[in-house]
Structure 1
């Protein structure tokens, strides 16, 4: 029998977000669990871009300067709530992605102070995915060019001498690309991920709470994920582990160290992420059951 997050502990998570979370995750909670207006999330995200349309201060890249990492995170949220190409924040964001591409090196640089030597799937592959999602805003020749780079550079996972688990963020970016790109590229990417997934995810449950690693449910936030059936047991066990280790104040714990400000941001992000996954897999009690 699969463990379920109780209504009481669901309320604890909600209370944590509403008292300690960022306004963005609070509005995402309302959208996912209380029929909140998706436009409220879009409006909030308009507070995060810089003048050039790129995003900053989302938790990943830089608090002041727009960058590729924060832009990819912002588009995860925009996609999540169904933002369209008619939304100004989407138009400016896609414009930033196009303009910030380094044509000489054939890549996006993840952070303002971190110049890549070339293509890295994180965040490059994911950014290509969002170009596909909002492709009516993207010149066809540009989309064709970056698609070729994405497919040609998927070998990162396979050629590294380090364990593949170190590259799970790259693999996640490839998965987000696969969910949006056209065939035959979709199948090509999924074939690579399917082949490597057992070496990418962490299957030792002890490490899920003690070591920064690829928790299995990262690769199947819902049963509709193309990788879910292959890793189903590990996905469910890793979600059960989130339920078991939930903090007393309601947040879901981080398995990496960060400073106080970073921890505040990521506890907020992480708590809504886990709640969404639990909801998608139907292992969360969203309604109080009265005793008869």
Structure 2
């Protein structure tokens, strides 16, 4: 009898993934502890409190950058919201926040290091919803208080009101904010509007689409996700079938964009493989 999808994926993770993703795999699927994940994340945090050092594999810059802070908070939300790490990260955010109250997408320090071609910025970048909204949303989700959060929340509200969805990443960070911000009456009203825009846009791709697209289960990976009610059962089943079929001979799942290097590709594939396994498990399609 052949090995199960989980067994094949586990072999891929141990052979190819970073220590961080190996620890995340052990946390989700074996007996790994939250502390082991936090310890593996710690070397990506710099003395200024921010995160860099290619935590986001397409940004090879060792210096702290805003988007890696988002990635770190997402990981900590999954395992344990380590207060000291988060406090230091928020202190760092204060140092890069613009007068508007948000943080830029990318800082100029990244431009002197290898990076994927879409990571570009100017000398004085403006604040951006991406990643400000996601960072604020994750802090609200975990009930974390910090002086950075009030101005960032105000900034997000000011930008969301007139938002037109043209980019899936913007949509994702805005949803993270709206799902978690405490002002529920205002958030629910905006959620109805933003969800309507999303469903009418081309940002939700067909389950059979190829390339760098976001399919229904990318938006609503679990049965209890707020967007799942907008995905028909046939599309859920078809998307899951495609996900199962996407497992490669080496046991991992591929990325859907051009990697910066072979090393970057493997770093990404570790996380993508864990995400695929979590989606399959949440939907009853992963068997030991």
Q: TM-score range by the shorter chain?
A: 0.7 to 0.9
Q: State the match for 1:246 in structure 2.
A: 247
User: Relative to structure 1, is the Cα distance of residues 189 and 46 closer, same or farther in structure 2, using a 3 angstrom cutoff?
Assistant: farther
Q: State the match for 1:153 in structure 2.
A: 159
The normalised TM-score by structure 1 is 0.83
The normalised TM-score by structure 2 is 0.84
Looking at structure 2, the residues matched to 8 and 70 of structure 1 have their Cα atoms a distance apart, in angstroms, of 33
Question: Structure 2 matches for 1:205-244, cutoff 5 A?
Answer: 205-207=207-209, 210-233=210-233, 234-244=235-245
Looking at structure 2, the residues matched to 100 and 232 of structure 1 have their Cα atoms a distance apart, in angstroms, of 43
Q: Return the offset for 1:273.
A: 1.1
Deviations 1:203-260 (A, max 9, x none): 33332xx311112212112112111111244344323212112111011121111121
Q: State the match for 1:124 in structure 2.
A: 132
Q: Does 1:13 align with 2:13?
A: no
Which piece of structure 1 moves more, 59-68 or 250-259?
Answer: 59-68
Looking at structure 2, the residues matched to 102 and 221 of structure 1 have their Cα atoms a distance apart, in angstroms, of 34
RMSD: 2.2
Q: Return the offset for 1:272.
A: 0.8
Q: Does 1:68 align with 2:70?
A: no
Looking at structure 1, the residues matched to 177 and 253 of structure 2 have their Cα atoms a distance apart, in angstroms, of 27
Which piece of structure 1 moves more, 12-21 or 216-225?
Answer: 216-225
Looking at structure 1, the residues matched to 62 and 33 of structure 2 have their Cα atoms a distance apart, in angstroms, of 28
Looking at structure 1, the residues matched to 187 and 80 of structure 2 have their Cα atoms a distance apart, in angstroms, of 21
Q: State the match for 2:103 in structure 1.
A: 108
Looking at structure 2, the residues matched to 144 and 230 of structure 1 have their Cα atoms a distance apart, in angstroms, of 32
Looking at structure 1, the residues matched to 250 and 66 of structure 2 have their Cα atoms a distance apart, in angstroms, of 33
User: Relative to structure 1, is the Cα distance of residues 135 and 248 closer, same or farther in structure 2, using a 3 angstrom cutoff?
Assistant: same
The count of residues paired between Structure 1 and Structure 2 equals 268
User: Relative to structure 1, is the Cα distance of residues 200 and 135 closer, same or farther in structure 2, using a 3 angstrom cutoff?
Assistant: farther
Q: Does 1:204 align with 2:199?
A: no
Q: Return the offset for 1:279.
A: 1.4
Question: Structure 2 matches for 1:261-280, cutoff 5 A?
Answer: 261-280=263-282
Looking at structure 2, the residues matched to 283 and 193 of structure 1 have their Cα atoms a distance apart, in angstroms, of 30
User: Relative to structure 1, is the Cα distance of residues 71 and 173 closer, same or farther in structure 2, using a 3 angstrom cutoff?
Assistant: same
Q: Return the offset for 1:99.
A: 2.9
User: Relative to structure 1, is the Cα distance of residues 197 and 232 closer, same or farther in structure 2, using a 3 angstrom cutoff?
Assistant: farther
Q: Return the offset for 1:84.
A: 4.0
Q: State the match for 2:90 in structure 1.
A: 94
- Which structure 2 residue ranges, 5 or more long, are not aligned? 109-120
User: Relative to structure 1, is the Cα distance of residues 156 and 211 closer, same or farther in structure 2, using a 3 angstrom cutoff?
Assistant: farther
Looking at structure 2, the residues matched to 47 and 226 of structure 1 have their Cα atoms a distance apart, in angstroms, of 34
Match of 1:46 among 14, 23, 42: 42
Maintained 8 Å contact 2:50/2:69: yes
Looking at structure 1, the residues matched to 273 and 231 of structure 2 have their Cα atoms a distance apart, in angstroms, of 23
Q: State the match for 2:22 in structure 1.
A: 26
